[in-house]
């Protein structure tokens, strides 16, 4: 039976690298994968998943309004899919997570989602919320804080390096940067 996986982490834990490696493992065996990426993430140009260590692959873009079950079923009809991989899956809507669960349950295609658990205020993203609730397998990808502890939180910093405490969940085109920190340092930077 296929399963729904959620690989979650803070920033820069190698989520895209892990996605690209998994997709490659299927393709190396002559199997077909579909890599999906949300329209919201255009850091590397549209329709691409790129890793910080320099590897990349073509990806199919989806928008917040897309029915992913329909899109994946159509693609599966055209060419048998062995696996679907979703980058930046924190941006999925509740309905889209449900649609991916349908793909697993009714089309029997494994779906591997990669995404952030929480935003810069320590709140769950919608996609992460429902993946944490409904995925068959939860896998944490680990990264470390500057202090050496496991980093499970993300801090957004302005151009002066100050931690930002309020604002929209997704900042587009700003000068902000993101850093993964442990909860103790998140507390000092954001909560206190
Ligand atoms: Zn720390």
pTM of the model: 0.94
User: Is residue 147 assigned to a domain?
Assistant: no
DSSP 8-state secondary structure symbol assigned to residue 1: -
**pLDDT of 44:** 56
- Alpha helix positions (H), the chain: 15-28, 68-78, 94-106, 126-134, 183-186
Tens-binned pLDDT, residue by residue, of the chain (192 aa): 999 999 999 998 899 999 999 999 999 999 999 999 999 755 555 789 989 888 999 999 999 999 999 999 999 999 999 999 999 999 999 999 999 999 999 999 999 999 999 999 999 999 999 999 999 999 999 999 999 999 999 999 998 999 999 988 887 666 788 999 999 999 999 999
User: Is residue 165 assigned to a domain?
Assistant: no
Catalytic residue among 88, 123, 176, 179: 88
Question: Is 57 annotated in some ligand binding site?
Answer: no
User: Is residue 70 assigned to a domain?
Assistant: yes
User: Is residue 20 assigned to a domain?
Assistant: yes
From ligand 1's centre to the CA of 186, what distance in Å? 8
Distance CA 139, CA 181 (A): 19
Distance CA 82, CA 69 (A): 15
Question: Is 88 annotated in some ligand binding site?
Answer: yes
User: In total, how many domains does the chain have?
Assistant: 1
The domain that holds 130 is classified in CATH as 3.40.50.300
Question: Is 113 annotated in some ligand binding site?
Answer: no
User: Is residue 100 assigned to a domain?
Assistant: yes
Residue 77 known to be catalytic: no
- N-term to C-term CA, the chain: 46
Distance CA 35, CA 20 (A): 9
Helix then strand count (H, E) for the chain reads 5, 10
Domain range for 137 is 4-142
User: Is residue 106 assigned to a domain?
Assistant: yes
User: Is residue 52 assigned to a domain?
Assistant: yes
User: Is residue 37 assigned to a domain?
Assistant: yes
From ligand 1's centre to the CA of 163, what distance in Å? 14
Find the helix packing angle between 94-106 and 126-134, rounded to 10°.
Answer: 30
Distance CA 125, CA 106 (A): 26
- State the Cα torsion 94-95-97-100 to the nearest 10°: 180
């Amino acid at each position: 039976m296929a399963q729904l996986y959620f690989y979650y982490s803070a920033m820069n834990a190698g989520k895209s690298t892990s996605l690209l490696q998994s997709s490659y493992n299927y393709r190396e065996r002559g199997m077909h994968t579909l890599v999906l990426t949300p329209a919201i993430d255009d850091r590397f140009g549209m329709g691409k998943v790129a890793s910080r260590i320099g590897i990349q692959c073509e990806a199919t873009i989806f928008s917040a309004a897309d029915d992913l079950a329909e899109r994946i079923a159509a693609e599966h009809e055209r060419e048998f899919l062995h696996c679907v991989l979703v980058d930046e899956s924190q941006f999925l809507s509740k309905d889209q997570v449900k649609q991916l669960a349908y793909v697993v349950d009714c089309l029997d295609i494994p779906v591997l989602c990669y995404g952030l658990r929480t935003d810069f205020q320590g709140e769950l993203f919608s996609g992460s919320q429902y993946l944490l609730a409904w995925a068959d397998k939860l896998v944490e990808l680990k990264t470390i804080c500057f202090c050496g502890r496991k980093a499970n939180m993300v801090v957004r910093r302005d151009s002066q390096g100050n931690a930002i405490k309020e604002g929209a969940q997704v900042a587009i085109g700003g000068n902000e940067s993101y850093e993964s920190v442990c909860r103790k340092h998140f507390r000092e930077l954001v909560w206190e």
